[in-house]
Amino acid sequence: MRSGRDLYEPQLGLTLPLAGLHFIFYFLVQADQERAYGLFGFHPETAFSHPWSFFTYQFLHGDLMSLFFGAMIFYQLGMVLEAEWGFGEYAVFWLVATLGGSVAGWILGTSLLSGMLLVNVSMLFAYAYLFPDTVFYIYFILPMKVKWLAYITLAVLAILFVLDVLRGQLLRGIVDLCGVSAGFLYFWIRQKGQFHARKVAKRALSSVKEAGAVRQDQALEQRNRTLFPKVEALREAARAGAELPASSKGFAEELATLVVPGVKICKPVDFKGDRDGVCVRCEGFAECSLRYVAGQPGEIVVKAREP
């Protein structure tokens, strides 16, 4: 998914041509309503002889009010969703939302002569899921957050389904429910799938990092436990004021090269050498060892654990 939501990108996309089809089919209906509904409406008995009707039913409008709100809602929602998802993902969503109604109509033997709401409602639910606090103006006057508009739409759909059942049009009600929910269900399942995949990937990456940190700690501990007897020998020689042999001088220089700049080290009194599991796993061990050789701390003190 793209993160940008610029609605004025210099590209045609899918939303604008689809919104334009609403106007084209409106004029076809006005020119010959019976023929337009027969040719472009969805009818189960002619579905495979007119395969385009699986898609064209949604563009049919009987009046200007239906055309205006159908095309406007589709355009406003579609431009934002396409900008958010990109052309390919948006196209799949539109296909699923469209076929949700027509395939259900074919299975249940129910015609669809106008279905722009089936696609637009799926788009509204997806939009409300992504941008719940966006404010729309109903009839350009009444402000309402899109999440509440989605809840109201859901309530109206439930009422319409009950009315269809009471009128003995159960199949019609089921087709409408399939149509308005197909696109959103596809989006919701995919959204949850992506979230789960990201969560699994994050856990796997965290496990790899933790395993790497454990290996690094173990390697540091092994190295530092090997170094510390030489550190003790260097410390004793420094205490005695004896001249250091060439091998000890070389080790002091080697220890200096192991100092890691920028590591926050503890106070000298907290240095425990190889007598605990903390200091030997610390990157500051070489720096603290050099400080210990110089007499800080005077003695290594390890407190006995209380029983």
Q: Give me 45's structure tokens.
A: 């008995």
Q: Is the pLDDT assigned to residue 7 strictly greater than 60?
A: no
pTM: 0.61
Per-residue model confidence (pLDDT) at position 29: 92
Distance CA 120, CA 206 (A): 41
SS (H, E, C) 48-83: CCCCCHHHHHHHCCCCHHHHHHHHHHHHHHHHHHHH
CA distance readout (Å), 191 to 2, 129, 178, 179, 211: 14, 10, 19, 19, 30
SS (H, E, C) 15-54: HHHHHHHHHHHHHHHHHCHHHHHHHHCECHHHCCCCCCHH
Q: Is the pLDDT assigned to residue 95 strictly greater than 90?
A: yes
Q: Give me 7's structure tokens.
A: 């609605």
Summary mean pLDDT of the chain: 83
Mean pLDDT, rounded, for 93-118: 88
Helix axis angle for 146-166 and 116-130, nearest 10°, is 140
Q: Is the pLDDT assigned to residue 208 strictly greater than 80?
A: no
Per-residue model confidence (pLDDT) at position 1: 42
The label of the residue with tokens 């495979």 reads 48
Per-residue model confidence (pLDDT) at position 300: 83
Per-residue model confidence (pLDDT) at position 96: 92
Lowest-pLDDT range of 32-46, 56-70, 235-249? 235-249
Q: Give me 228's structure tokens.
A: 């510390």
Contacts of 32 (CB under 8 A, 6+ apart): none
Interval 210-232: pLDDT, tens: 666 667 778 888 888 888 888 88
User: In this structure, are residues 19 and 75 in contact, taking their beta carbons and an 8 Å threshold?
Assistant: yes
Q: Is the pLDDT assigned to residue 129 strictly greater than 50?
A: yes
CA distance readout (Å), 118 to 96, 106, 157, 224, 305: 11, 15, 11, 69, 72
Backbone angles phi, psi at 143, to 5 degrees: -75, 140
**Residue 135: which H helix or E strand, with range?**
strand 135-138
Q: Is the pLDDT assigned to residue 242 strictly greater than 80?
A: no
Mean pLDDT, rounded, for 37-66: 92
> At CB < 8 A and 24+ separation, what contacts does 45-48 make?
47/102, 47/106
In order of start, what are the domains of the chain with their CATH numbers?
A: 15-203 (1.20.1540.10)
